[in-house]
Amino acid sequence: MLTEHVGWRGVLAALGVVTALMFVLALLLIPETLPLAQRHDGGLRRALSNFARLGRDRAFILLTIMVACNFGALLAYISAAPFVGQVMLGMSPAQFSLSFASGAVAMVLTNFINSRMAGRVPPTRLLFVGTTLVGLAGCAFATLALTEALSIPAFIACAFVMSGGVALVSANGTALALGLADYARGSGSALLGCIQFLGGSLTPPIVGAWGDHTAVPMATTIIVGAVCACACAVGAATVLRRRARG
C-alpha cells in the first residue's frame, strides 16, 4: 500500500526505519535470557566443537532440515505471490496486502492455539498437523491452478491455511531442536537459523526459473517442501521415541 504513495524507495526506507526501531527496542528492553552460570567461554573453538556435536545428533539434524524445508515452502509462496496475485489474478495493492495480512493473522492465531496445546498434545503430533496443512494448501493451489479456477478469495484462503501450518511447524520444530541443544543453546540456535535460511534461499530461484505465467511452480514447490518436512518429522519422532524408551 505504501508503494502507491512513496514508491519502492520509500518502502525500503520505511523498512529501514522499522528495523532500526526494532534494534533499539531489543537493545534497551530485552535482557539476556541465558543465565550467567550457563554461559561458556572458549570462543570459536568451543563453538566449532558444539557444531560438530550437534551435527552428530540425528534428531537435531532432522528437525533442523524439517524447519528449513518448511521455511523453503513459505519463501516459495512469498517469492511467487506478487506474480500470481497481482499479475495473474489482477489483485489491487489493497487486496494483495490483505492476502499477506491474512497470513499474519493465521500465524498469530495458530501460535496462540499452539500455546494452549503445549503440555497436552505432543509437539511431534503438532508437527504432523502443521506439515499436513502446508501440504493441503499446496495441493489446493495446484488443483486450482491446473483447473484455472484460482480466484482472489481462494488465493487468500490457501495462503491463510499454509501460513498457519508453517507457524505450527516452525514453533514446535524450533522448540524440539533447541531442547536437544540444551548444552549449547547459542550454537544450536545459530546452526538452526543458518540452515533454515539456506533452505529458504533455495526455493525462490527454483520458482522463478519455472516462469511467472502459472501458479503451478509455486504450488509444486510448496508441496515438495511439505512432504520433505513431514518425512523429517517422522524420522525425528522415531529417533526421539527410541531415546525415550532407552
Q: What is the pLDDT of residues 206-229, one digit of tens each?
A: 998 877 678 999 999 999 999 999
User: Which residues are within 8 A (CB) of 23 and not within 5 positions of it... i.e. 6 or more apart?
Assistant: none
pLDDT of residue 48: 84
* Cα angle, residue 209 at apex, residues 214 and 155 outer, rounded to 5°: 30
C-alpha grid cell for residue 42?
Answer: 572458549
Which domains does the chain possess? 47-245 (1.20.1250.20)
**CA 153, CA 158: separation in Å to the nearest integer?**
9
**CA 85, CA 101: separation in Å to the nearest integer?**
14
Tell me the Cα Rg of the chain.
Answer: 20
pLDDT of residue 1: 62
Place of cell 545459530: 190
In this predicted model, what pLDDT tens digit does every residue of 142-166 receive, in sequence order? Answer: 999 999 999 999 999 999 999 999 9
pLDDT of residue 42: 66
SS3 148: coil
pLDDT of residue 73: 96
φ, ψ (nearest 5 deg) of residue 104: -65, -40
**CA 200, CA 193: separation in Å to the nearest integer?**
10
pLDDT at 3 over 90: no
pLDDT of residue 129: 95
In this predicted model, what pLDDT tens digit does every residue of 79-123 receive, in sequence order? Answer: 999 899 888 899 888 888 888 899 999 999 999 999 999 888 999
Q: Taking the chain, what is the end-to-end CA distance rounded to the nearest angstrom?
A: 56
In this predicted model, what pLDDT tens digit does every residue of 35-84 receive, in sequence order? Answer: 776 666 667 788 788 889 999 999 999 999 999 999 999 999 999 998 99
Side-chain-side CA neighbours of 153 within 13 Å: the count stands at: 0
**CA 65, CA 192: separation in Å to the nearest integer?**
8
